[in-house]
Amino acid sequence: MNPQRENGHREIANDVFRELVKAQFTGAEYKVCLCIINHSWGYGKTSDVLSTHLISKETSLSLRMVKLTLKSLKERRVICLQPSKRVKRGSPLNEYLFNKHWDTWKARPVKRASPVQQITARQVNSTSPTKESMKRKYSPRPSPGKELLEWFKAEYMNRLGRSYHIDHFPKQQGLCSGLLSKFGTDRVKKMMTAFLCDRNPWLVEQGHTLWQFSKNLNKYARIIALQIDGEVQEYDPRF
């Protein structure tokens, strides 16, 4: 292919061409406009009689899309049309004219959502997950055993004035989980507090570790039982 100017060309005023470039047209609207310009200005005419089937064939748009696009362009005053004297299949064909007075074109109307769409949009927005809710949903929650272990560390620092060294973290966390399931949060914390307050020389020498606490559970269970309801709850090592 080697198209030449002398084989035919379309002249469009610079102002109109610039406005066509800037116009917020859809792809279908551009195709229909150029088709009308081609059949009118391209042959030295201001308008031409066209059938929707011809426009559909030249633009590769469906017949339905052509009709919708022509209606949209007419409403925005980009094109003008009127029935002609030519008739096809019993109906008069329309004569189309491209409106070169671009300053009279209308902007595309803003579509307003129907009440049903507005309600649906609000419902979607209200139920859509936010960044914070997604973070809360997928952030791993600390296990009760881990929380109790962290509490013991803080209480150890508060009572003894030094940091508690955790060796075998999974085992100590598992130990805390078992204590919680057996005694409950309040009771096991009171037992641990009694343990950390115990100044037995042997215990001070061995260290206030969770392992030592687990070996003397019955002792601290009895102490706390007297403070709670007078009933001693024995520790079952099998948990």
Question: Which stretches does DSSP call E strand in 99-194?
Answer: none
C-alpha R_g of the chain: 42
DSSP state of 161: S
Indicate whether 82 and 155 sit together in one domain.
no
* pLDDT for the residue 96: 93
Asked if the structure places residue 137 within a domain, the reply is no
From 51, 75, 104, give the residue that closes a domain.
104
- Collect all residues with Cβ–Cβ distance below 8 Å to 108 and sequence separation of at least 6: 24, 76
Indicate whether 156 and 209 sit together in one domain.
yes
The structure tokens listed for 169 are 């973290």
Asked if the structure places residue 199 within a domain, the reply is yes
CA–CA separation, 181 and 211 (whole Å): 17
From 104, 136, 169, give the residue that closes a domain.
104
Indicate whether 20 and 86 sit together in one domain.
yes
From 75, 104, 133, give the residue that closes a domain.
104
- Give the range of the structural domain holding residue 24, as residue numbers without chain letter: 10-104
**Strand-pair category, 91-98 with 47-50:** antiparallel
* pLDDT for the residue 140: 62
- Candidates 44, 47, 50, 35; CA nearest to 11 is 44
Asked if the structure places residue 154 within a domain, the reply is yes
The structure tokens listed for 60 are 């590769």
Asked if the structure places residue 166 within a domain, the reply is yes
The structure tokens listed for 164 are 């508690």
Indicate whether 70 and 154 sit together in one domain.
no
* pLDDT for the residue 236: 43
Asked if the structure places residue 130 within a domain, the reply is no
* pLDDT for the residue 238: 42
CATH number of the domain enclosing 60: 1.10.10.10
Residue identified by tokens 């899309």 is 65
DSSP state of 162: S
Indicate whether 199 and 149 sit together in one domain.
yes
Indicate whether 18 and 100 sit together in one domain.
yes
Residue ranges, the chain, pLDDT below 70: 1, 5-8, 90-91, 111-142, 226-239
Asked if the structure places residue 124 within a domain, the reply is no
Indicate whether 221 and 170 sit together in one domain.
yes
User: How many domains does the structure of the chain reveal?
Assistant: 2
CA–CA separation, 91 and 93 (whole Å): 6
Indicate whether 15 and 97 sit together in one domain.
yes
Asked if the structure places residue 131 within a domain, the reply is no
* pLDDT for the residue 5: 66
Residue 181's Cβ-side half-sphere holds a number of Cα atoms within 13 Å equal to 12
Asked if the structure places residue 25 within a domain, the reply is yes
